[in-house]
Amino acid sequence: MAINYKKELEKAAKGMILVHRPDVLIKMIVRTIVQKARVRHAGILLHDQDKDTYILTVSRGPTGLKIPAGFCRVDKDNPLIRYLSNPSRYNQLGPFLLVRDNLKRLLRRRLLPETKKLAKDILYQMEIFGAQVCIPSFFRQELLGVLFLGDKNNKRPFKQEELDFFFALASDAAMALQNARLFQGLQLQLERNERLFLSTTKALAGAIEAKDHYTRGHTERVTQLSFILGEKLLQKKFSGMTTDFLSELRIAGLLHDIGKIGVPESILNKNGELSDEERRIIQEHPIIGARIIEPIAELSFVAKGVKYHHERYDGRGYPEGLQGDGIPLIAAIIAVADCFDAMTSDRPYRQALTRQQAIEEMLAKKGSQFHPQLVDVFVELYQEGRF
């Protein structure tokens, strides 16, 4: 019998390299084997690095034949694992691939007592898994897993050529799996670091904000409002909006007021009208903020959001009096969110507006204080009940 499935399986094995989720990869391998190689069932005992045991990770075939995945766990000193881990012992039971029918035949011969015991123990394990064949899979001398196959659908014995092929396949699979694990490790570390960056920035910006007694929670609310406004703009394919822009917008939201660290507490928390000089000092906070983060090359775009979030669409804002589309979009978005939150918060010199009143105020100032299209989208979000 020609092994006509070989080409298909080889092709499938190659695609494995680019599957970077270990769990998906393993399921794919076993499913492919069952389908293409026409065996009744197949499974993989996989080494669990954390617990240093071998776990039945996936098992496929008709119900009744297969053991549920995760159900079975095998110790390192299980006879099957011990034998397969140690290629130098492979001459003890003949071929390194364990074939149940061969073991049965072997047991009919005269054997050394220890060989007999070994063969019996392994046969017992293979029967538990309903395995006709067990194939070890190594990565750099470590037994990474054991692939086991049930009987062929046509009940014929496996040929040596087929067994060799499965051994090669198992070794490919081990390599792909190792690759996927490395990939997943990097990805998890990346996610962890992104979380760490955001939460640290949030904590430090929050601590700085706490100096200003009037603005509790302001930073987080502005970040959140800017982000949903940005998301909506992205949805509407607003020119210049990208997912990268969104991540930078989030950071700019968190950092927009950090320049307040440079404003004396006595001015920041003054209970009463500010003098012109005091107002001038407060109005320096966008520049101070930008100066703090400008040395960070990766945040040059974010720095623009911080620096210009008090510019006005009509050019009457500060620090530079930029106008219309001359104001970076990232800053114009924060300006909308920032003013809305300021209007709807209590201040020592006035009560908070209701959200409805603030929305009306923003519509009134559309095109003078605010970027007109941004106000429209912001109002749309409000009407949808998004905030």
Q: How many residues bind a second copy (CB under 8 A)?
A: 46
Distances from the Cα of 345 to the Cαs of 214, 225, 269, 353, 370, in angstroms?
Answer: 9, 14, 15, 7, 19
Report, in Å, the least distance between residue 238 CB and a second copy: 26
Report, in Å, the least distance between residue 386 CB and a second copy: 26
Residue 278's Cα: distance from chain center in Å? Answer: 47
The residue range among 71-79, 156-164, 178-186, 218-226 that interacts with a second copy, by the rule CB under 8 A, is: 178-186
Q: Is 186 in the site for a second copy (CB under 8 A)?
A: yes
Report, in Å, the least distance between residue 261 CB and a second copy: 5
CA dihedral 298, 302, 306, 308 (to 10 degrees): 120
Applying the rule CB under 8 A, the residues between 350 and 379 that interact with a second copy are none
Report, in Å, the least distance between residue 264 CB and a second copy: 7
Q: Is 189 in the site for a second copy (CB under 8 A)?
A: yes
Q: Is 8 in the site for a second copy (CB under 8 A)?
A: no
User: Which of 299, 329, 333, 335 is the binder for a second copy (CB under 8 A)?
Assistant: 299
**CA 366 – CA 324 distance, rounded (Å):** 11
Q: Give me the helices (H) in the chain, please.
A: 6-15, 22-36, 79-85, 100-107, 113-128, 160-209, 218-235, 243-255, 265-268, 276-282, 285-293, 300-307, 329-343, 355-364, 372-383
User: Which of 205, 290, 359, 374 is the binder for a second copy (CB under 8 A)?
Assistant: 205
Of 170, 268, 258, nearest in space to 207 by CA: 258
Q: Is 176 in the site for a second copy (CB under 8 A)?
A: yes
Report, in Å, the least distance between residue 212 CB and a second copy: 12
Q: Is 35 in the site for a second copy (CB under 8 A)?
A: no
Q: Is 287 in the site for a second copy (CB under 8 A)?
A: no
Nearer to a second copy, 215 or 344 (CB): 215
Q: Is 295 in the site for a second copy (CB under 8 A)?
A: yes
Cβ atoms of residues 281 and 337 within 8 Å: no
Q: Find the angle CA(201)-CA(196)-CA(176) to the nearest 5 degrees.
A: 150
Cβ atoms of residues 126 and 103 within 8 Å: yes
**CA 206 – CA 208 distance, rounded (Å):** 5
Report, in Å, the least distance between residue 136 CB and a second copy: 17
Cis before residue 319, ω within 30 degrees of 0?
A: yes
Applying the rule CB under 8 A, the residues between 254 and 283 that interact with a second copy are 258, 261-262, 264-266
Report, in Å, the least distance between residue 334 CB and a second copy: 18
Report, in Å, the least distance between residue 203 CB and a second copy: 5
Q: Is 183 in the site for a second copy (CB under 8 A)?
A: yes
Q: Would you call 27 exposed, middle or buried from its count of C-beta atoms within 10 A (0-12, 13-18, 19+)? A: middle
CA dihedral 78, 82, 84, 85 (to 10 degrees): 130
User: Which of 200, 275, 354, 357 is the binder for a second copy (CB under 8 A)?
Assistant: 200
Q: Would you call 160 exposed, middle or buried from its count of C-beta atoms within 10 A (0-12, 13-18, 19+)? A: exposed
Cβ atoms of residues 339 and 369 within 8 Å: yes
Q: Is 188 in the site for a second copy (CB under 8 A)?
A: no
Which spans of this chain sit near a second copy (rule: CB under 8 A)? Answer: 14-15, 17-18, 20, 171-172, 175-176, 178-179, 182-183, 186-187, 189-190, 192-197, 199-201, 203-208, 210-211, 258, 261-262, 264-266, 292-293, 295-296, 298-299
